[in-house]
Structure 1
Amino acid sequence: MVASREWLFKRNCSISPQQLVQVYGLLCAVSLAISVFFIIRGTWIILGFSILEQAAVAYAFIYYARHASDREQLVLHDGFLIVEVVQAEKVRQVRLMRRQMAIRFMVHTRLIGLESAGICVEVGRFLTEKKRRAFMHELRQELRMTSTPGN
């Protein structure tokens, strides 16, 4: 049995979805207060712009919240590299054979391509280019170490 090695790459989110809801509520309250001020002065059109603004911010916040838990998890175990990619709550999991695996830097996407037995998955979305290259080197070393007899 080969020892496991695991990597986890995820977004660096500074605000949780729950905190985002609180911020959105505060923004809506401030915008509504400003709208009421102008409604009292007879300018109703400001309310329309306020609603439009709140809808645009809501769309952006919903997009952010859907992608807040995006991640890539790679586990090297028993001759396989198991790659799980979560994007907008959609999970894709592939199992790549270590001995047949090719690791490439994908020029068109600037991501790391892992390919085995006709299955290709790209990882490294949450890494800088420098860290992607360092990870590629680390993964290649790990694959060489686990492929030597006696390990």
Structure 2
Amino acid sequence: MRRWQMRRNCALTPKQLLQFYIALVCLSLIVATGFFLAGVWVIPIFTALELTAVTIGFLIYCRHALDSETIEVDGKRLMVKKFIGYKETFYEFNTQWAKIEPPIEGSKIFHISQSNMRVELGQFIRYEQQLALIRQMRACLG
């Protein structure tokens, strides 16, 4: 069985991001509380707006931090699993009938197709890596 996995290149894992977020919230609330106790009531309002915007941004980041695409070839089965935004989709092809369509120069994707089913892959790897992956996969196909 051959297996290839392509993942999004993220600087922080969701756990690391949560730790950073907690530190950021604590620091912002300490500063806002200090200004509020000093009689400057406008700063806590802007702190709440800032934390709301940061929270939305971090939630969007976390939603896609674990995105991946996995391709497995096992005998006559070619299986593709896509995990995008906490939604997992699974496709199964026959290795003798599946067709790999290489990417167009500068494109971020290539396709695997069979009959009326077509799957878009390769969004997490560079063009050169796509070509190498396609060569390796074609060696496994019938």
TM-score (norm 1): 0.83
Identity, % of aligned pairs?
Answer: 28
Q: How far is 1:54 from its partner?
A: 0.7
Gaps of 5+ in 1: none
1:122 aligned partner: 120
Q: Note the alpha carbon deviations across 1:3-53, whole angstroms, 9 max, x for none.
A: x21111112333222222121111011111221232233221111111111
Tell me which of 77, 82, 90 is aligned to 1:80. 77
Residue number among 2, 11, 16 corresponding to 1:5 in the alignment? 2
2:89 to 92, 101, 105: 92
Aligned to 1:133: 131
Tell me how far apart the structure 1 counterparts of residues 69 and 92 of structure 2 sit (CA, whole Å): 13
What residue number does 2:99 align with? 102
Q: TM-score, normalised by structure 2?
A: 0.88
Superposed CA RMSD in Å reads 1.8
Once residues 135 and 49 of structure 1 are traced to their aligned partners in structure 2, the CA distance between those partners, rounded to angstroms, is: 49
**Structure 1 residues 109, 44: closer, same or farther in 2, change over 3 A?**
farther
Q: Following the alignment from structure 1 to structure 2, what is the Cα–Cα distance between the partners of residues 63 and 109?
A: 25
SS at match of 1:99: coil
Offset from partner CA, 1:49-107 (integer Å, 9 cap, x none): 11111111111111222222211111111212100001111111000122222211354
Q: How many residues align?
A: 141
| Aligned equivalents of 1:130, 1:42: Cα separation in 2 | 59
Q: CA deviation at 1:109?
A: 5.7
Structure 1 stretches of at least 4 aligned residues deviating more than 6 Å after TM superposition: none
Supply the distance in 2 between the matched residues of 1:131 and 1:43 (Cα, whole angstroms): 55
Partner SS for 1:91 = strand
